[in-house]
Amino acid sequence: MEDRNTNVNAKITHHIAVYAFPFGSHGSPLLNIIRRLAALAPRNKVHFSFFSTPNSINTLFPKGSKFDVDCPNIKAYEVWDGKPVGYVSKGNPLEEIDLFLKAVARPGALKKVLEEAEENVGVKVSCVMGDAFLSYLLCDLALEVKVPWVSCWIPGEHSFCVHVYTDAIRQRFGTQGIEEGREEENLDFLPGLNKIRVKDIPDGIVTGNIDSPISQLLHKMSQVLPYASAICLSSCEELDPIVTNDLKSKLSNVFAVGPLSLVVAPSKVADTYNCLGWLDQQRPNSVVYVSFGSVATPTPNELFALAEALQASGLKFLWSMKDHLKVHFPNGFLESNKENGMIVPWAPQVDVLAHGAVGVFITHFGYHSIIESIAAEVPMIGRPFLGDHKLNGRLVEAVWKIGLKVEGGVFTKNKVVKSLDRILWCDEGKKMKETIKNLNNVVRKAIAPDGSSNKNFKLLLELVMKT
């Protein structure tokens, strides 16, 4: 049998295969990790083959191209998304995830595209990297082709930690439903999670459907991670050294290389709807920015209540939301708020949050949105929806103390107005501003040229190139 690491091409010495989980906000951060590694590596010696679905590739790479603009040593290859011919989306992302997972789990599916890249590059793959959501598949692939495997966790280290400890949490609380009152218990038996409650952890561990495809995928991840050659975290060590050090004691070569949205400068995006021009006309710290990412959407009743709250507050607001959702606004809301508010289908979030006019961010508590808010020093009001949102919200409110989770976890007019008052007009809000500024300074030190994140990137590249 031919050695997988035979150098067929005299120039390229290392060929890294990278597999993305092509849903939500997973693809872009993983590509940013690879871009950073590709920029640090000798371009004529290290090549990265990036595998994802056609739709994901079209989003991440220049239209019509499968090469990265800034890093020519990255090339994209298509993986089948599992959708049959004539498939029509029903708007259910879980269905599309299930189709994809079944497609990539077919015997030989991942190896086939790997071999296609090997033939194209002319060099055998020397290392497999990929989204931790695909760990159980990538572990098997790496074993089959006899190369090291690096698992990349895209959200925060706290959510990673609770998934790593899934079996321990299940042993403590069971999987048949939480006994009354126990949902308030803290995870104080896990290092660094003493303020996280059972009700804060993602569904699929001890609550919700533990047999769902995502739950099973993440449980399998927790079981195979000890076999990974390295773990790459998209956070930085300084955000919670207790959690990071505990992970280092349990797993091999844990490298915290983030926050990625700050380590890798985002591509400049066009301000299509002149959001920044509108913000230029507003007073400092006076605008409420509202956005729930690309997946989460409040219920019609909550959209109605949030609109009522913004109008009742009298505050200026910039709201990023799809046009078809406007039908859920109160009658006359759009007409009566032409001067007070701006509603756009999309906003350049990083630039918006960094604008001095923005005083508070109403969000879904997505991890990357939280990091962008910390970087801009803007306190948050959050309504968690799915995945790690509840856990992230608990961190924001009870651990870092840089924002509030809306009372009861759903938007009502009075609760939103109350939260806005607490942040914008009370001493509590002033303290949050000071705290988030200090937290931003911690993060900025981590991503400085001599900071821990850049050091870890170099260590990660060294490990990848040792193969």
In 42-68, which positions are buried (b, 16+ CB within 10 angstroms) versus exposed (e)? Answer: eeeebbbbbbbbeebbbebbeeeeeeb
Binned at pLDDT 50, 70 and 90, residue 467 comes out as low
Please say whether the dihedral angle defined by the alpha carbons of residues 255, 256, 258 and 263, taken in this order, is positive or negative: negative
Domain contains 267: no
Q: Do residue 253 and residue 382 come from a single domain?
A: no
Helix runs in 188-256, H state only: 213-224, 241-250
Q: What is the mean pLDDT of residues 41-57?
A: 92
The CA distance from 35 to 73, in Å, is 9
Domain that holds residue 131: 14-258+447-465
Q: Do residue 235 and residue 318 come from a single domain?
A: no
Question: By the 8 A CB rule, do 18 and 29 touch?
Answer: no
Q: Do residue 205 and residue 283 come from a single domain?
A: no
The tally of domains found in the chain comes to: 2
**Which stretch of DSSP H or E encloses residue 393?**
helix 389-394
The CA distance from 169 to 259, in Å, is 27
The CA distance from 80 to 152, in Å, is 21
244 phi and psi, to 5 degrees? -65, -45
Least confident of 66-70, 318-322, 419-423: 66-70
Q: Do residue 229 and residue 91 come from a single domain?
A: yes
Question: By the 8 A CB rule, do 52 and 67 touch?
Answer: no
Q: Do residue 291 and residue 426 come from a single domain?
A: yes
- Comparing C-alpha atoms, which of 319, 177, 232, 166 is closest to residue 31? 232
According to DSSP, the residues that pair with 363 across neighbouring strands are 382
pLDDT digits (tens, 9 = 90+) for 55-102: 999 989 887 788 888 888 999 999 999 998 888 877 777 888 999 999
Q: Do residue 173 and residue 136 come from a single domain?
A: yes
Q: Do residue 344 and residue 454 come from a single domain?
A: no
Cis peptide bond N-terminal to 259, omega within 30: yes
Q: Do residue 103 and residue 250 come from a single domain?
A: yes
Would the pLDDT of 29 be above 80?
A: yes
Q: Do residue 455 and residue 326 come from a single domain?
A: no
The overall average pLDDT reported for the chain is: 92
Question: By the 8 A CB rule, do 411 and 383 touch?
Answer: yes
Q: Do residue 247 and residue 326 come from a single domain?
A: no
The CA distance from 55 to 140, in Å, is 26
Other C-beta atoms closer than 10 Å to the C-beta of 398 total: 13
Question: By the 8 A CB rule, do 159 and 391 touch?
Answer: yes
Domain contains 115: yes
State percent of the chain over pLDDT 90.
78
Domain contains 2: no
Domain contains 7: no
Domain contains 3: no
Domain contains 148: yes
The CA distance from 187 to 176, in Å, is 18
Strand 341-344's sheet: what is its strand order? 341-344, 316-320, 287-290, 358-363, 380-382, 403-405
Domain contains 270: no
Say what the pLDDT of residue 176 is: 74
Question: By the 8 A CB rule, do 191 and 242 touch?
Answer: yes
Say what the pLDDT of residue 295 is: 78
Question: By the 8 A CB rule, do 290 and 306 touch?
Answer: yes
Pairing of β 341-344 and β 316-320:
parallel
Question: By the 8 A CB rule, do 364 and 390 touch?
Answer: no
Q: Which residues contact 140 (CB under 8 A, 6 or more apart)?
A: none
448 phi and psi, to 5 degrees? -65, 160
The CA distance from 129 to 141, in Å, is 11
According to DSSP, the residues that pair with 341 across neighbouring strands are 317
3-state helix, strand, coil in the chain (%, to 5): 45, 15, 40
Domain contains 293: yes
The CA distance from 357 to 289, in Å, is 10
Q: What is the mean pLDDT of residues 120-142?
A: 96
Say what the pLDDT of residue 230 is: 97
Would the pLDDT of 202 be above 60?
A: yes
Q: What is the mean pLDDT of residues 298-304?
A: 95
Q: What is the mean pLDDT of residues 427-444?
A: 96
Binned at pLDDT 50, 70 and 90, residue 296 comes out as confident
Using CA atoms, how far residue 119 sits from 130, 145, 459, in Å, is 20, 15, 29
* Cα angle 314, 318, 319; round to 5: 110
Q: Do residue 95 and residue 51 come from a single domain?
A: yes
pLDDT digits (tens, 9 = 90+) for 230-287: 999 999 999 999 999 999 999 999 999 989 878 876 667 889 999 999 999 999 999 9
The CA distance from 263 to 375, in Å, is 11
**What DSSP designation does 48 have?**
E
Would the pLDDT of 107 be above 70?
A: yes
Q: What is the mean pLDDT of residues 7-22?
A: 82
Q: Which residues contact 106 (CB under 8 A, 6 or more apart)?
A: none
Long-range contacts of 430-433 (CB under 8 A, 24+ apart): 431/401, 432/379, 432/401, 432/402, 432/403, 433/377, 433/379
CATH of the domain at 409: 3.40.50.2000
**What DSSP designation does 455 have?**
H
Question: By the 8 A CB rule, do 56 and 27 touch?
Answer: yes
Say what the pLDDT of residue 4 is: 46
Say what the pLDDT of residue 1 is: 38
pLDDT digits (tens, 9 = 90+) for 354-407: 999 999 999 999 999 999 999 999 999 999 998 899 999 999 999 999 999 998
Q: Do residue 434 and residue 455 come from a single domain?
A: no
According to DSSP, the residues that pair with 233 across neighbouring strands are 153, 256
Lookup: tokens for 96: 């599309």
Say what the pLDDT of residue 5 is: 45
Question: By the 8 A CB rule, do 259 and 447 touch?
Answer: yes
Q: Active-site residues: which are they?
A: 26, 131
